[in-house]
Structure 1
Amino acid sequence: MTTTLDRPDSQGEAAPTGPPSPTAPAARTGLAAVYRFELVKLLAQWRLKAVFLACLVVPALYTAVVSSQTSLPADSVYGRWMNQSGWAGSLVILVFMGTLVLPLLTSVVSGDIYAVEDRLGTWRHLLVTVRSPRLIFGAKALAALTVTLALFVPLVISSIVGGLLVVGSHPVPGLDGHLISSGELSGLVLLSWATVIPPTLAFSAIGLLGSVSFGRSPLGLLMPVVFAVVLDLVHLMPAPVALRAATPTSPFTAYRGLFTEPAQVGMLGIGLVVSVAWAGLATYLAYRTFVRRDFTDLANDGSARRFAVTGLLPLVGLFIATAAAVSTVTGVAGSGINRAKLEASLATSFSHLYVLQNTELNRPAMSEDQLRSTAECDKGGDRVEDTGPGNDWRCVVTWTVPGAAGSANAIYQLDVLPDGRYMADGDGPKEVNGYFLVHTQTGDAPNPLWQFDGLVDLLEK
């Protein structure tokens, strides 16, 4: 086949030859232009449009419907308060988001942003246009980061608006029983959503690593979800505090420490630092893998062995190093849950909630100091050590009623989870915690002492 340079002209004569003209240098494509191009490509996908729509509609619909019902998700933190305050619904949504939903969203965005070029076979066209693998990687990573952060906006707004429209803005007790005003609640709810952004970005970076490492293979798309499931198993088991704090999933539950007074921010602070470290390392590993890749292989499906060596092992090393550092710095061993902590937390929560119940019943005002509440707990009888999580904790709270002779007792069965959260279920007397409703001047209201959630500071010695 002849080219235009050696093809005869229309008169049958050879094309004139002369000294070659200097070739003008091709204009380089900047990061901003490639970033805009990748962002438009992402937002044009129908599945991302569906995800945005779901984030905007589903939380509001869920909180609006559930908040108007009598059957509430009492197993979730603040679930039993959804029909009392609109802010509770947003916190319940946040519980569901942190388990698998946020990692799943990062799979849809970051887990496919490089692999889509492998499936469509467009790497050669993109490289010819941009001529810089580093520029391509940076633009795609920034586009994925932008879309991931943008998903938080409809999630937060929708989860708050649904409950506020149906129930309204009202105070609720904190996880130590003290009453949190509506104004303070608004700030704490927004701050709680902000604290889950760093761990979400860590899973987004893991998605980048999986997308780069496995090419067309669906393993890359599933990588954030796989990591989330494995790390959630660590949190479900009675693992040592150091291992729990060394995972980027820790902030998904550690934000609850913001709802105590004083705030329990130790686990949250460590979790945020760990999340940033995971995000940085995973992004670097993805970048190193990308710039070393052979783009001439159109059938690239990645290598599980290469991913294990260049991707998985460094992350495992970071996990081990972080756990060792946390154990050394904090000096806390074991689960971080023991009898003394539970007794102190339960007595404090009971005092705050007793005062709240006293106010609802329009009784003479009293303070927590007047009650002088104490608690005595036991786990599983005399043959079981009083440490660690479990649903076999039994506690007796003792307090002094102002103006009455002697003291009073209340029994609670505690279900203590490995993350330090516990649910106290009242077991008498019926006048204090025997019924789930109390009769107030304005009608029936939830009995704050019937069932309530508490929180143990795992890092406290």
Structure 2
Amino acid sequence: MTVTATTTAGTRKAAPRRAVGDVVRFELVKQFSSWRVRLLLLVCWLGPGLLVFGIDQQNTLPSDTLFGRWMHATGWAGSLVVLGFAGTWALPLVTSVVAGDVFASEDRLGTWRHLLVTVRSHRRIFAAKAIASVAVIGLLVAGLVVSGIAGGLLAEGNQPLVGLGGQLLSGGDAGNRVLLAWLCVLAPTLALAAIGLLGSVALGRSPMGLLLPMLAALGMQVAQMLPLPVALRLALPGYAYISWNGLFAAPQQLGPLLIGVGVSLVWAVVATALAYWLFVRRDFTNLNNDGAGRRVLTMGILPLAGLLAVTTGIVALATGSGDSGITQDKVQRSVAAVFAQLYPFQQEQIHQPAPTAAQLHTSAVCSKSEGLGPQTGPGNDWRCTVSWVVPGTNVSTQAVYQLNVTANGRYAADGDGPVQVNGYFLIINSGKASPNPLWQFDGNVDLLPGH
């Protein structure tokens, strides 16, 4: 009996550890079994297309939204409107629901012990949950992209798009830039997802973990509306949700975009590493402990605040930017360049000979607050007088615009006369109404020095 018992005990083997792939599949099944994730999938894959198609059938357009006034002219404008909305609300919500709840759900259900006994590896559990979260978020983002593009193309087709530099982009060029813009916003989405992982690990079953990515995104949006120094603005991981606009400028403003993408990826790596550090050191034997407690401050908030300070310093040294980045000279050059591109386009629409931008000799004189105070910084009190020479004559003509320049460099120019140039919203061309490109137009001021 003794020998048999000894032999039996000796032949016992510990249950093998689960492979990461098996755990990832298990986590994906749990993610897709959640009604919240299923609802998000339905909304992301159908909502944008229906919304864009529905708006396109209306007489009024969201002209206060970037590219919104061009939704009747090209199908690509609708996808860009969706992208602007997604960066503000949809993508932060997606990261909150998916990444912000992936660890906290185990605390609420009390399933940590069962999961640890089954997988037998903290590292595999963390890796599987992180990979599954990124996969689900990627699928949701793909739905926003496909649905928005499909709805726009079904409504208006593959027509040229007017860029932020006033240039006319062919349908193929516009499509490539739209896809590249969506690809760029994946970086800040990963940063918010990593913040969600950190909040889910650190705060346990507390609802604050679920809300953390949304709160972080909201805080960064508010910060972008403030007159911050350029270096601090670019060091915030959410800046790439805005800087994709530079892809549609002329010339393309890639500097702020690349910095925004790089900063977002650094934040994603650091926040994920902090979440992993807290997770592998958590005491799962104590049922009353569902988070990191006081370590949330020392290993969560403080390191990210330090990262913001470091990246701000690096960006400031690399770019030499220490002010708002919006100067009188930059505004004047941008407005003149955009007008010079849009004027020939307008002349074509009204069946007049279209001059080249070089023939117009366009210039602009802009002032802020009627010339009182510093002629720098954002505000809705910019006023510009654009001058150009009518081709074939020596006659100089002028048009006036009121500008609202935001803190991130984007501006909207509203025509203030003469009536025949920028006084009408629509142009009737062969019985079809189309937007007057000179009535209102959008532009971008490159915030980096020397641009």
Give the match's secondary structure for 1:213: helix
- 5 Å matches for 1:16-415? 18-21=5-8, 22=10, 23-302=12-291, 305-415=294-404
Secondary structure of the residue aligned to 1:26 is coil
- Structure 1 pair 283/451, CA: closer, same or farther in 2 (3 Å)? same
Change (3 A) 1:442 1:170: farther
- In structure 2, the partner of 1:3 is none
Calculate percent identity across the aligned residue pairs: 50
**In the alignment, what sits opposite 1:417?**
406
Q: Secondary structure in 1 aligned to 2:449? A: coil
Q: Structure 1's 335 and 42: CA in aligned 2 closer, same or farther, altered over 3 A?
A: same
Q: Give the aligned residue type for 1:19.
A: T
The 8 Å contact of residues 374 and 399 in structure 1, kept in 2 or not, is answered as yes
Which of the pair has more CA radius of gyration? Answer: 1
**Structure 1 stretches of 5 or more lacking a match?**
1-13
> Deviation per CA, 1:11-32, whole angstroms, max 9, x where unpaired?
xxx9997434212342221111
Tell me, yes or no, if the aligned pair for 2:320 and 2:449 is still in contact at 8 Å. no
Shift of 1:181: 0.8
Question: Which stretch has the larger CA shift, 64-73 or 420-429?
Answer: 64-73
The answer (yes or no) to whether the contact 1:90–1:159 under 8 Å persists in 2 is yes
Deviation per CA, 1:135-193: give whole Å up to 9, x if none. Answer: 11111111111111111121111111112112222112110101011111111111111
Structure 2 CA distance for partners of 1:442 and 1:18, relative to 1, 3 Å: closer
* CA displacement at 1:441 relative to structure 2: 3.3
- Tell me, yes or no, if the aligned pair for 1:370 and 1:402 is still in contact at 8 Å: yes
Match of 2:441 among 426, 436, 452: 452
Residues in 1 aligned to 2:5 and 2:293: alpha-carbon distance in whole angstroms: 55
How many residue pairs match? The answer is: 448
**Contact between 1:216 and 1:300, CA under 8 Å: does it hold in 2?**
no
Partner Cα separation in structure 2 for residue 381 and residue 434 of structure 1 = 22
Return the alpha-carbon distance in structure 1 between the equivalents of residues 25 and 435 of structure 2. 52
Higher mean C-alpha displacement, 439-448 vs 278-287: 439-448
Contact residue 332 and residue 459 of structure 1 kept, 8 A: yes
2:367 aligned counterpart, secondary structure: strand
Distance 1:414 1:171, change over 3 A: same
Deviations 1:360-417 (CA, angstroms, capped at 9, x unpaired): 1111231000000000000002322110000000000000001233200000000001
Q: Determine the C-alpha separation between the residues in 1 that align with 2:106 and 2:79.
A: 37
1:442 Cα shift?
4.7
Do the aligned residues in 2 keep the contact of 1:199 with 1:275 (CA within 8 Å)?
yes
Q: Could you tell me whether the CA contact under 8 Å between 1:176 and 1:260 is conserved in 2?
A: yes
User: TM-score, normalised on structure 2?
Assistant: 0.97
Amino acid across the alignment from 2:27? E
Letter in 1 for 2:233: R
Which one has a larger percent helix, Structure 1 or Structure 2?
2
Offset at residue 303 of structure 1 (A): 5.2
Report if the CA contact (8 A) 1:214-1:300 is conserved.
no
Letter in 1 for 2:6: P
CA distance in 1, matches of 2:233, 2:103: 31
* Separation of aligned partners in 1, 2:372 and 2:6: 98
Once residues 18 and 387 of structure 1 are traced to their aligned partners in structure 2, the CA distance between those partners, rounded to angstroms, is: 87
Alpha-carbon distance in 2 for matches of 1:220, 1:431: 56
